[in-house]
Structure 1
Protein backbone atom coordinates (compact mmCIF):
# COMPACT_ATOMS: atom_id res chain seq x y z
CA UNK A 1 0.00 0.00 0.00
CA UNK A 2 1.00 3.66 -0.07
CA UNK A 3 3.81 4.55 2.32
CA UNK A 4 4.62 8.24 1.82
CA UNK A 5 4.16 11.17 -0.48
CA UNK A 6 6.95 11.11 -3.06
CA UNK A 7 6.54 14.43 -4.90
CA UNK A 8 4.12 17.24 -5.76
CA UNK A 9 3.79 19.59 -8.71
CA UNK A 10 3.08 23.26 -7.89
CA UNK A 11 2.14 25.86 -10.53
CA UNK A 12 4.31 29.01 -10.71
CA UNK A 13 4.02 32.18 -12.77
CA UNK A 14 7.80 32.89 -12.85
CA UNK A 15 9.90 29.77 -12.36
CA UNK A 16 13.28 31.39 -11.66
CA UNK A 17 11.78 33.72 -9.02
CA UNK A 18 9.93 30.78 -7.46
CA UNK A 19 13.08 28.65 -7.25
CA UNK A 20 14.92 31.49 -5.52
CA UNK A 21 12.05 32.02 -3.03
CA UNK A 22 11.75 28.32 -2.12
CA UNK A 23 15.51 28.01 -1.62
CA UNK A 24 15.75 31.16 0.53
CA UNK A 25 12.56 30.82 2.56
CA UNK A 26 12.07 27.04 2.88
CA UNK A 27 15.77 26.08 2.69
CA UNK A 28 15.14 23.47 0.02
CA UNK A 29 17.90 22.32 -2.29
CA UNK A 30 17.67 22.96 -6.00
CA UNK A 31 18.34 20.00 -8.24
CA UNK A 32 17.93 20.04 -12.03
CA UNK A 33 15.99 23.23 -12.67
CA UNK A 34 12.84 23.15 -10.54
CA UNK A 35 13.15 19.98 -8.49
CA UNK A 36 13.46 20.94 -4.82
CA UNK A 37 14.49 18.30 -2.28
CA UNK A 38 13.57 18.19 1.40
CA UNK A 39 15.63 16.42 4.11
CA UNK A 40 13.04 13.62 4.47
CA UNK A 41 13.46 12.64 0.82
CA UNK A 42 10.29 14.15 -0.64
CA UNK A 43 10.52 16.39 -3.67
CA UNK A 44 8.59 19.44 -4.79
CA UNK A 45 8.49 20.24 -8.50
CA UNK A 46 7.81 23.84 -9.48
CA UNK A 47 6.14 24.02 -12.87
CA UNK A 48 5.91 27.30 -14.76
CA UNK A 49 2.39 27.90 -16.04
CA UNK A 50 1.00 30.53 -18.38
CA UNK A 51 -2.43 30.03 -16.79
CA UNK A 52 -3.18 31.90 -13.58
CA UNK A 53 -3.70 29.04 -11.13
CA UNK A 54 -2.67 27.94 -7.64
CA UNK A 55 -2.36 24.64 -5.80
CA UNK A 56 -5.43 25.37 -3.66
CA UNK A 57 -9.16 24.74 -3.74
CA UNK A 58 -12.23 26.23 -2.03
CA UNK A 59 -14.97 24.63 0.05
CA UNK A 60 -17.73 26.87 1.44
CA UNK A 61 -15.66 29.89 0.37
CA UNK A 62 -12.68 28.75 2.49
CA UNK A 63 -9.35 28.19 0.73
CA UNK A 64 -7.66 24.85 1.41
CA UNK A 65 -4.06 23.84 0.63
CA UNK A 66 -3.31 20.69 -1.31
CA UNK A 67 0.13 20.26 0.28
CA UNK A 68 1.03 20.08 3.96
CA UNK A 69 4.41 19.90 5.66
CA UNK A 70 5.47 18.69 9.07
CA UNK A 71 8.06 20.34 11.29
CA UNK A 72 9.46 20.11 14.81
CA UNK A 73 9.67 23.83 15.67
CA UNK A 74 6.59 25.61 14.35
CA UNK A 75 7.17 28.87 16.27
CA UNK A 76 10.66 29.20 14.83
CA UNK A 77 9.24 28.52 11.36
CA UNK A 78 6.45 31.09 11.84
CA UNK A 79 8.99 33.69 12.97
CA UNK A 80 11.29 32.89 10.02
CA UNK A 81 8.42 33.22 7.54
CA UNK A 82 7.21 36.51 9.05
CA UNK A 83 10.74 37.97 9.09
CA UNK A 84 10.85 37.24 5.36
CA UNK A 85 7.50 38.97 4.72
CA UNK A 86 5.67 35.70 4.02
CA UNK A 87 1.91 35.78 4.61
CA UNK A 88 1.18 33.51 7.60
CA UNK A 89 -2.29 32.77 8.96
CA UNK A 90 -4.31 30.34 11.07
CA UNK A 91 -1.53 29.74 13.60
CA UNK A 92 -3.54 27.45 15.88
CA UNK A 93 -3.58 24.67 18.46
CA UNK A 94 -6.20 22.00 17.78
CA UNK A 95 -6.35 21.00 21.47
CA UNK A 96 -5.34 17.45 20.57
CA UNK A 97 -1.57 17.88 20.66
CA UNK A 98 -1.11 19.42 17.21
CA UNK A 99 -0.07 22.93 16.20
CA UNK A 100 -0.85 24.24 12.71
CA UNK A 101 -0.18 27.24 10.52
CA UNK A 102 -0.81 28.17 6.91
CA UNK A 103 1.47 30.22 4.67
CA UNK A 104 1.50 31.42 1.07
CA UNK A 105 4.25 31.54 -1.53
CA UNK A 106 4.53 34.58 -3.85
CA UNK A 107 2.22 32.93 -6.42
CA UNK A 108 -0.58 32.51 -3.86
CA UNK A 109 -0.11 28.77 -3.32
CA UNK A 110 -1.32 27.98 0.20
CA UNK A 111 0.56 25.44 2.32
CA UNK A 112 -0.22 23.96 5.73
CA UNK A 113 2.30 23.01 8.40
CA UNK A 114 1.66 20.62 11.30
CA UNK A 115 3.78 20.17 14.40
CA UNK A 116 3.36 17.68 17.24
CA UNK A 117 2.97 19.69 20.43
CA UNK A 118 4.68 17.14 22.65
Structure 2
Protein backbone atom coordinates (compact mmCIF):
# COMPACT_ATOMS: atom_id res chain seq x y z
CA UNK A 1 0.00 0.00 0.00
CA UNK A 2 1.28 3.43 -0.93
CA UNK A 3 -0.17 6.87 -0.25
CA UNK A 4 0.14 7.77 -3.93
CA UNK A 5 1.61 10.84 -5.59
CA UNK A 6 1.03 14.52 -4.92
CA UNK A 7 0.33 17.20 -7.56
CA UNK A 8 4.08 17.50 -8.29
CA UNK A 9 4.46 13.76 -8.84
CA UNK A 10 6.28 13.19 -5.55
CA UNK A 11 5.37 10.31 -3.25
CA UNK A 12 3.00 11.30 -0.45
CA UNK A 13 3.99 10.59 3.14
CA UNK A 14 2.79 11.11 6.68
CA UNK A 15 5.14 12.44 9.36
CA UNK A 16 5.31 10.00 12.28
CA UNK A 17 6.64 9.90 15.84
CA UNK A 18 9.33 7.63 17.19
CA UNK A 19 6.64 5.74 19.10
CA UNK A 20 4.98 4.94 15.76
CA UNK A 21 8.35 3.66 14.49
CA UNK A 22 8.66 1.44 17.58
CA UNK A 23 5.24 -0.06 16.86
CA UNK A 24 5.68 -0.54 13.09
CA UNK A 25 9.44 -1.08 12.72
CA UNK A 26 10.48 -2.31 16.19
CA UNK A 27 13.84 -3.69 15.03
CA UNK A 28 14.86 -0.44 13.33
CA UNK A 29 13.69 1.62 16.32
CA UNK A 30 15.77 -0.58 18.63
CA UNK A 31 18.85 -0.34 16.39
CA UNK A 32 18.58 3.46 16.30
CA UNK A 33 18.10 3.58 20.08
CA UNK A 34 21.07 1.27 20.67
CA UNK A 35 23.25 3.41 18.39
CA UNK A 36 22.48 6.76 19.98
CA UNK A 37 24.05 7.10 23.41
CA UNK A 38 24.36 10.89 23.55
CA UNK A 39 20.84 11.99 22.55
CA UNK A 40 17.60 10.07 22.75
CA UNK A 41 16.50 8.44 19.52
CA UNK A 42 13.26 10.45 19.66
CA UNK A 43 15.30 13.65 19.42
CA UNK A 44 17.31 12.47 16.40
CA UNK A 45 14.82 11.15 13.88
CA UNK A 46 12.58 12.69 11.27
CA UNK A 47 10.25 9.85 10.28
CA UNK A 48 8.26 9.76 7.04
CA UNK A 49 5.73 6.98 6.50
CA UNK A 50 5.12 6.24 2.81
CA UNK A 51 2.65 3.44 3.49
CA UNK A 52 4.75 0.72 1.90
CA UNK A 53 7.98 1.81 3.57
CA UNK A 54 9.51 4.34 5.90
CA UNK A 55 12.23 6.97 5.55
CA UNK A 56 14.16 7.99 8.67
CA UNK A 57 16.28 11.12 8.30
CA UNK A 58 19.20 11.78 10.65
CA UNK A 59 20.93 15.18 10.53
CA UNK A 60 24.49 16.37 11.14
CA UNK A 61 25.90 19.84 10.56
CA UNK A 62 26.92 18.90 7.02
CA UNK A 63 24.70 15.99 5.93
CA UNK A 64 21.30 14.38 6.04
CA UNK A 65 21.38 10.58 6.26
CA UNK A 66 18.35 8.94 4.66
CA UNK A 67 17.58 5.45 5.93
CA UNK A 68 14.98 3.67 3.82
CA UNK A 69 13.29 0.59 5.21
CA UNK A 70 10.63 -1.95 4.44
CA UNK A 71 10.08 -4.82 6.84
CA UNK A 72 8.72 -8.33 6.49
CA UNK A 73 10.09 -11.37 4.69
CA UNK A 74 11.35 -9.30 1.75
CA UNK A 75 12.42 -6.41 4.00
CA UNK A 76 15.02 -3.93 2.80
CA UNK A 77 17.30 -1.42 4.48
CA UNK A 78 19.44 1.17 2.73
CA UNK A 79 21.41 4.35 3.32
CA UNK A 80 21.70 7.44 1.18
CA UNK A 81 23.06 10.78 2.21
CA UNK A 82 22.94 14.29 0.90
CA UNK A 83 24.72 17.49 1.80
CA UNK A 84 22.69 20.08 3.67
CA UNK A 85 24.13 22.71 1.32
CA UNK A 86 23.71 22.21 -2.39
CA UNK A 87 25.49 19.18 -3.69
CA UNK A 88 24.95 15.68 -4.94
CA UNK A 89 23.84 12.85 -2.68
CA UNK A 90 25.36 9.42 -2.53
CA UNK A 91 24.00 5.90 -2.30
CA UNK A 92 25.81 3.72 0.17
CA UNK A 93 25.00 0.48 1.93
CA UNK A 94 21.90 -1.49 1.18
CA UNK A 95 20.73 -5.00 1.89
CA UNK A 96 18.19 -7.07 3.73
CA UNK A 97 16.29 -5.65 6.68
CA UNK A 98 18.72 -6.93 9.31
CA UNK A 99 21.00 -5.86 12.14
CA UNK A 100 24.03 -6.68 9.95
CA UNK A 101 22.88 -4.17 7.31
CA UNK A 102 22.18 -1.63 10.07
CA UNK A 103 25.72 -2.08 11.40
CA UNK A 104 27.16 -1.39 7.92
CA UNK A 105 24.96 1.73 7.64
CA UNK A 106 26.21 3.08 10.98
CA UNK A 107 29.81 2.45 9.92
CA UNK A 108 29.19 4.33 6.65
CA UNK A 109 27.67 7.28 8.52
CA UNK A 110 30.61 7.40 10.91
CA UNK A 111 33.12 7.21 8.07
CA UNK A 112 31.46 10.23 6.42
CA UNK A 113 31.87 12.30 9.55
CA UNK A 114 35.49 11.43 10.31
CA UNK A 115 38.23 13.61 8.88
CA UNK A 116 41.84 12.75 8.18
CA UNK A 117 44.57 13.99 10.49
CA UNK A 118 46.04 15.92 7.54
CA UNK A 119 42.83 17.89 7.29
CA UNK A 120 42.67 18.51 11.05
CA UNK A 121 46.21 19.88 11.07
CA UNK A 122 45.74 21.74 7.79
CA UNK A 123 42.12 22.91 7.36
CA UNK A 124 42.59 23.70 3.66
CA UNK A 125 43.57 20.07 2.92
CA UNK A 126 40.79 18.30 1.02
CA UNK A 127 40.18 14.58 1.57
Q: Report which of the two has the higher share of helix.
A: 2
Work out which of the two has the higher radius of gyration on C-alpha atoms and give 1 or 2.
Answer: 2
TM-score of the superposed pair, with normalisation by structure 1: 0.29
TM-score of the superposed pair, with normalisation by structure 2: 0.27
Q: Report which of the two has the higher share of strand.
A: 1
Structure with more contact order per residue of length (Cα contacts < 8 Å, sep ≥ 6): 1
